[in-house]
């Protein structure tokens, strides 16, 4: 984990809000975007589709899924992400990252958040990753794609 | 126990007497006993005991066989006193006994403690003794060993006598040493043994003294035990007495309770007896009351029954009254009707001898009415014909008039025969007319009231309705026929149209094929579309109707770009500075000493030359401000124009401003454009408006108005309005 205080603050803020949105079942997708600092060009886009189960309410009983299975799926996803380094093009320029969050139109957005573009990559190549299903939060399909050189 | 109780208890007295006799019989033994008590008791208590013995002796002296009753009482009193003293003594002895017991226990404990200490000391001494004996044995053994060594050494010496003298000397020295040591050890052991023997002796003596003390203590203990036994006996006796006393008291209390209970029972029995006496009375009364109650109940039932009956009777009475009233009414009606009937009958007899009942009469009336209707119809016809005749008559009159005129004018033209004929005709017509008139008059006189018109009207309506229904029925019948016909036609047509149906089926099949083809095409399209949408969604596309994309405001990318922009700006500034520096260096070529000045110059130059960006910004601002100003001016002009127009229309004055703080008013109805009023605002006193002099003011009308409104009332609006009115009047008069 990082020791950069700004980064830690940023991640904790984003994760807190994501938790709220997940609980409110308005989260649709999370995207980690890697951009080139000098040109603002999007180089990589890691997209995680999240299907929340809208039928789940506060009163309904939680869906059970063995912890082992969940951990296995997470492990598989992470393994795939790390393995994708082999075919991703090398980033040889100063880059930065950003987290985009796709939510329902009606969801409440705190002041610290603002609307953003989707950071589209023109002329891209897509790679589909394995998907995993978590309890009650639903499917988490992971996608990654890279710029076409 | 009180003295009186003792006196009352006869057994006590007898026992005392026997004691006394015993005492008298064997005084020495008693004395001995007293002596033993004296010996046993501690020195503090001796006096009390001796006193008691003395008092007893005194009593014996006072007591004689022929003792008077007072003396006996005295003796009794003395005995009670003695008893009291004995009790006190007993208490004292008890306390003493307790004290002694405690003391004994303490001494026993102390002795035991001493005994244990001594035992322990003895055991320790024995142990020491054993140790010392062991030491002694050891020392003896050592002595033996040393002796043996010595002997060995002697042997060695003897053996090695031929050796060097040094060795011998050494050995001798050693021997001396060992002997000295041996002696020392012997001395010390002897001393120790003596000490221990002394100590043993001391301990033995101590043990002996302790044993003596123990024996003494045992003796004391025995004595104390004896005393304790005696006191225990006494205590037991006392307890027995106490128990007896308690039993007696208890019995006494029980008896008292019994007495009180008996008293209560007596009281209760008295009250019960009184209540019993009352009870009989009450029972009698009760019986009486029950009888009364039953009687009253029966009477109440009866009264209720009577009441119901009364109610029923009242209602019956009311009904009967009603009936009676009805009956009266009916009788009256009957009378009326009978009178009517009579009248009717009379009338019927009068009018027609045949008609005897009202029904017949009503039938006859109906007939009459029908006849009347017929007559009225005839009358209408007659009227119509009358009208026709009248018209004809008028025509003929006109003709006659014409003929007369023509006769008068050209008398020669008209023949006298025709005239005669016409006159005859006229007379005929006139008579006819008169006849008709007469008939009408008779009819009129007969038919003043027309009952039948309404009925006729109704009949006509009903007839028309009947007609309408008939028509409707006919129509429906016609419709039914038509439908039947159509049905028949359809049945006939179905057989004929099988070929057209086949054609239709073919068409439908073709359509189906077309639709299936279309469906397949659409499915393919849909698939392609889905693929494309998925692709797009993979690329990050989304539906803006349902989704929005947000990100944290201070995200790393934004921060880094911002930082980069800042860096870029700083670098540009630096670059510019360096360029300026280069230029200065190139231009001035100043010496090395001016390096410091150079940076200052560079800064001056950089700051002095406003950057093109700043200039642009300022220009932009200026342009925007100018535009704003223009718009404002336009807006103001528009509004002021409007305002003036409205003022002109409302007040009738055109207000201009020829110069500062002057206002020119020109009326709508002014005779010439030069006619105007000039006002000036006076800033010194607020709201002050001054009318300036002009040519127009010199006219007479204006002057008059000024006099009336300005000078007298000091009201400019009134002046202006009066002027307006004046001018308006003038204009209108001119136009008029």
Distance from CA of A9 to the nearest CA of B (A): 10
Which member of B535, B541, B551 has the closest CB to residue A98? B551
Which residue, among B534, B535, B540, B559, would best test binding to A if mutated, counting the most A CBs under 10 Å from its CB? B540
Most confident of A91-100, B481-490, B539-548: A91-100
Condensed to tens digits (0 to 9), the pLDDT of residues B670-686 reads 888 788 888 888 776 66
Count of CB pairs separated by less than 8 Å, A with B: 101
Tell me the chain B residues in contact with residue A6 when contact means C-beta distances shorter than 8 Å.
Answer: 556, 559
pLDDT attached to residue B367: 87
DSSP B345-390: HHHHHHH-SS--SHHHHHHHHHHHHHHHHHHHHHHHHHHHHHHHHH
Distance from CA of A115 to the nearest CA of B (A): 4
B211/B213 Cα distance (integer angstroms)? 5
Q: Using CA coordinates, name the residue in chain B closest to A102.
A: B549
Q: In what order do the strands lie in the sheet with B688-692?
A: B653-656, B662-667, B677-682, B688-692
> Which of these ranges, B361-370, B570-579, B641-650, has the smallest mean pLDDT?
B361-370
A22/A52 Cα distance (integer angstroms)? 7
What's the count of helices (H) and strands (E) in chain A, helices before strands? 2, 6
8 A C-beta contact, residue A31 and residue A99: yes
For B193-196, which contacts have Cβ atoms below 8 Å and span 24 or more sequence positions?
B193/B132, B193/B136, B196/B125, B196/B128, B196/B129, B196/B132
ipTM for this prediction: 0.82
CB–CB of B538 and A103 under 8 A? no
Tell me the chain A residues in contact with residue B550 when contact means C-beta distances shorter than 8 Å.
Answer: 100-101, 103, 109, 113-116
Q: Is B543 near chain A, with CB under 8 Å? A: no
Tell me the chain B residues in contact with residue A107 when contact means C-beta distances shorter than 8 Å.
Answer: 548
Q: Is B565 near chain A, with CB under 8 Å? A: no
8 A C-beta contact, residue B539 and residue A126: yes
Q: E-assigned strands of B479-590?
A: 547-552
B585/B183 Cα distance (integer angstroms)? 123
CB–CB of A94 and B560 under 8 A? yes
Tell me the chain B residues in contact with residue A31 when contact means C-beta distances shorter than 8 Å.
Answer: 540
Tell me the chain A residues in contact with residue B559 when contact means C-beta distances shorter than 8 Å.
Answer: 6, 96
**Per-residue b/e over B364-384, b at no fewer than 16 CB within 10 Å?**
eeeeeeeebbeebeebeebbe
Distance from CA of A5 to the nearest CA of B (A): 12
Find tokens 């009925």 and name the residue: B455
Strand partners, A42: A35
Say yes or no to pLDDT of A138 above 50.
Answer: no
Condensed to tens digits (0 to 9), the pLDDT of residues B588-617 reads 755 555 566 777 777 777 776 666 778 889
Say yes or no to pLDDT of B291 above 90.
Answer: yes
Distance from CA of B657 to the nearest CA of A (A): 57
Interstrand relation of B662-667 and B677-682 (parallel, antiparallel or unpaired) = antiparallel
R_g of chain B computed on alpha carbons? 86
CB–CB of A98 and B558 under 8 A? yes
Tell me the chain B residues in contact with residue A126 when contact means C-beta distances shorter than 8 Å.
Answer: 535, 538-539
pLDDT attached to residue B533: 83
B54/B61 Cα distance (integer angstroms)? 10
Q: Is B715 near chain A, with CB under 8 Å? A: no
Tell me the chain A residues in contact with residue B554 when contact means C-beta distances shorter than 8 Å.
Answer: 10, 112
**pLDDT grade for B258, boundaries at 50, 70 and 90:** very high
Which member of A28, A33, A112 has the closest CB to residue B547? A28
B533/B535 Cα distance (integer angstroms)? 5
Say yes or no to pLDDT of B41 above 80.
Answer: no
CB–CB of A7 and B556 under 8 A? yes
**Distances, alpha carbon B551 to alpha carbons A17, A18, B218, in Å:** 11, 11, 109
Q: E-assigned strands of chain A?
A: 27-36, 42-50, 95-104, 113-115, 124-134, 138-147
Token pair for residue B476? 């429906």
Token pair for residue B530? 């889905």
Percent of chain B with pLDDT over 90: 36
Interstrand relation of A95-104 and B547-552 (parallel, antiparallel or unpaired) = antiparallel
Average pLDDT rounded to a whole number, residues B113-125: 93
Max CA distance (Å), chain B: 253
Q: What is the mean pLDDT of chain B?
A: 82
Give B534's contacts (C-beta < 8 A, 6+ positions apart). none
A37/A40 Cα distance (integer angstroms)? 5
Angle at A58 between CA A56 and CA A64, to 5 degrees: 55
Average pLDDT rounded to a whole number, residues B429-450: 72
Average pLDDT rounded to a whole number, residues B279-291: 91
Token pair for residue B735? 């136009």
Closest to B442 measured CA to CA, from B373, B377, B379, B372: B379
CB–CB of B548 and A112 under 8 A? no
**Distances, alpha carbon B105 to alpha carbons B40, B93, B97, B100, in Å:** 19, 18, 12, 8
**pLDDT grade for B712, boundaries at 50, 70 and 90:** confident
Q: What is residue A149's three-state secondary structure?
A: coil
pLDDT attached to residue B61: 46
Condensed to tens digits (0 to 9), the pLDDT of residues B158-168 reads 777 666 677 78
Average pLDDT rounded to a whole number, residues A17-26: 88
Say yes or no to pLDDT of A70 above 90.
Answer: no
**Cβ neighbour number for residue A100 with a 10 Å cutoff:** 21
Say yes or no to pLDDT of B564 above 80.
Answer: yes
Find tokens 């299975």 and name the residue: A69
B140/B153 Cα distance (integer angstroms)? 19
B386/B434 Cα distance (integer angstroms)? 10
Closest to B717 measured CA to CA, from B725, B709, B728: B709
Tell me the chain B residues in contact with residue A100 when contact means C-beta distances shorter than 8 Å.
Answer: 549-551
Find tokens 């033994």 and name the residue: B29
Give B703's contacts (C-beta < 8 A, 6+ positions apart). B697
B20/B1 Cα distance (integer angstroms)? 21
Strand partners, B692: B678
A143/B266 Cα distance (integer angstroms)? 114
CB–CB of B550 and A47 under 8 A? no
Burial of B66 (0-12, 13-18, 19+ CB in 10 A): exposed
8 A C-beta contact, residue B648 and residue B668: yes
> Which of these ranges, A53-62, B187-196, B448-457, has the smallest mean pLDDT?
B448-457
Say yes or no to pLDDT of B32 above 60.
Answer: no
């Amino acid at each position: 984990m990082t020791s950069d205080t700004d980064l830690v603050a940023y991640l904790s803020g984003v994760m807190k809000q994501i938790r709220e949105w997940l609980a409110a079942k308005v989260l649709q997708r999370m995207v980690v975007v890697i951009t080139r600092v000098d040109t603002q060009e999007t180089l990589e886009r890691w997209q995680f589709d999240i299907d929340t189960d809208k039928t789940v309410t506060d009163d309904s009983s939680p869906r059970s899924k063995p912890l082992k299975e969940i951990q296995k799926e997470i492990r598989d996803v992470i393994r795939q992400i790390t393995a994708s380094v082999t075919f991703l093009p090398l980033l040889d320029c100063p880059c930065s990252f950003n987290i985009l969050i796709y939510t329902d139109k009606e969801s409440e957005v705190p002041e610290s958040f603002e609307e953003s573009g989707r950071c589209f990559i023109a002329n891209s190549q897509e790679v589909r990753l394995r998907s995993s299903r978590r309890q009650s939060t639903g499917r988490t399909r992971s996608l990654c794609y890279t710029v076409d050189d | 126990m009180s003295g009186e109780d003792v006196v009352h208890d006869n057994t006590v007295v007898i026992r005392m007497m026997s004691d006394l006799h015993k005492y008298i019989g064997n005084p020495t033994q008693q004395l001995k006993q007293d002596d033993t008590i004296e010996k046993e008791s501690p020195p503090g208590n001796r006096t009390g005991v001796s006193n008691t013995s003395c008092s007893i002796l005194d009593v014996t002296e006072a007591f004689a066989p022929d003792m008077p009753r007072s003396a006996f009482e005295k003796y009794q009193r003395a005995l009670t006193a003695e008893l009291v003293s004995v009790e006190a003594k007993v208490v004292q002895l008890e306390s003493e006994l307790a004290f002694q017991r405690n003391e004994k226990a303490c001494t026993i404990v102390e002795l035991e403690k001493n005994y244990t200490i001594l035992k322990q000391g003895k055991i320790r001494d024995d142990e020491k003794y054993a140790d010392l004996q062991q030491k002694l044995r050891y020392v003896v053994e050592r002595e033996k060993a040393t002796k043996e060594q010595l002997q060995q050494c002697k042997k060695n010496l003897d053996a090695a006598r031929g050796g060097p003298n040094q060795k011998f000397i050494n050995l001798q020295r050693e021997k001396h040493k060992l002997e000295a040591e041996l002696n020392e050890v012997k001395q010390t052991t002897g001393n120790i043994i003596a000490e221990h023997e002394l100590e043993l002796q001391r301990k033995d003596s101590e043990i002996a003294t302790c044993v003596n003390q123990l024996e003494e203590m045992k003796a004391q203990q025995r004595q104390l035990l004896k005393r304790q036994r005696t006191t225990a006996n006494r205590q037991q006796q006392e307890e027995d007495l106490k128990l007896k006393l308690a039993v007696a008291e208890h019995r006494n209390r029980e008896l008292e309770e019994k007495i009180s209970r008996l008293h209560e029972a007596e009281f209760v029995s008295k009250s019960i007896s009184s209540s019993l006496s009352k009870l009989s009375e009450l029972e009698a009364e009760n019986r009486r009351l029950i009888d009364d109650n039953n009687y009253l109940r029966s009477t109440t039932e009866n009264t209720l029954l009577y009441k119901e009956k009364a109610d029923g009777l009242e209602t019956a009475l009311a009904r009967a009254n009603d009936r009676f009233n009805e009956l009266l009414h009916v009788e009256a009606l009957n009378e009326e009707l009978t009178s009517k009937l009579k009248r009717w009958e009379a009338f019927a007899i009068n009018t027609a001898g045949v008609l005897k009942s009202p029904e017949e009469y009503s039938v006859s009336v109906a007939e009459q009415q029908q006849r009347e209707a017929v007559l009225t119809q005839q009358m209408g016809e007659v009227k119509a014909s009358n009208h026709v005749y009248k018209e004809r008559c008028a025509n003929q009159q006109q003709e006659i008039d014409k003929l007369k005129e023509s006769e008068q004018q050209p008398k020669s033209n008209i023949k006298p025969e025709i005239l005669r004929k016409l006159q005859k005709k006229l007379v005929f017509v006139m008579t006819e007319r008169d006849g008709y008139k007469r008939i009408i008059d008779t009819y009129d006189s007969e038919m003043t009231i027309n009952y039948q018109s309404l009925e006729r009207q109704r009949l006509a309506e009903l007839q028309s309705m009947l007609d309408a229904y008939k028509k409707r029925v006919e129509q429906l019948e016609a419709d039914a026929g038509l439908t039947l016909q159509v049905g028949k036609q359809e049945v006939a047509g179905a057989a004929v149209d099988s070929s057209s149906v086949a054609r239709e089926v073919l068409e439908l099949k073709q359509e189906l094929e077309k639709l299936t083809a279309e469906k397949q095409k659409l499915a393919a399209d849909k698939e392609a579309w889905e693929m494309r949408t998925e692709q797009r969604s993979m690329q990050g596309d989304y539906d803006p109707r349902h989704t929005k994309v947000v990100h944290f405001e201070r995200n790393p990318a934004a921060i880094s770009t911002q930082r980069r922009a800042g860096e870029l700006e700083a670098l540009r500034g630096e670059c510019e500075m360096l360029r300026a520096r280069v230029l200065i260096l190139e231009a001035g070529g100043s010496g090395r000493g001016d390096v410091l000045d150079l940076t200052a110059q560079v800064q001056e130059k950089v700051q002095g030359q406003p950057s093109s960006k700043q200039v642009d910004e300022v220009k932009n601002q200026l342009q925007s401000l100018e535009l704003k100003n223009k718009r404002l001016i336009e807006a103001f002009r528009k509004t002021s124009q409007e305002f003036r127009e409205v003022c002109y229309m409302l007040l009738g004055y055109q207000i201009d401003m020829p110069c500062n703080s002057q206002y020119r008013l020109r009326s709508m109805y002014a005779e010439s454009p030069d006619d105007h009023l000039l006002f000036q605002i006076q800033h010194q006193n607020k709201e002050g408006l001054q009318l300036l002099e002009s040519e127009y003011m010199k006219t007479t009308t204006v002057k008059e108005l000024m006099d009336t409104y300005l000078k007298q009332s000091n009201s400019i609006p009134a002046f202006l309005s009066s002027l307006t009115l004046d001018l308006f009047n003038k204009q209108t008069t001119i136009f008029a």
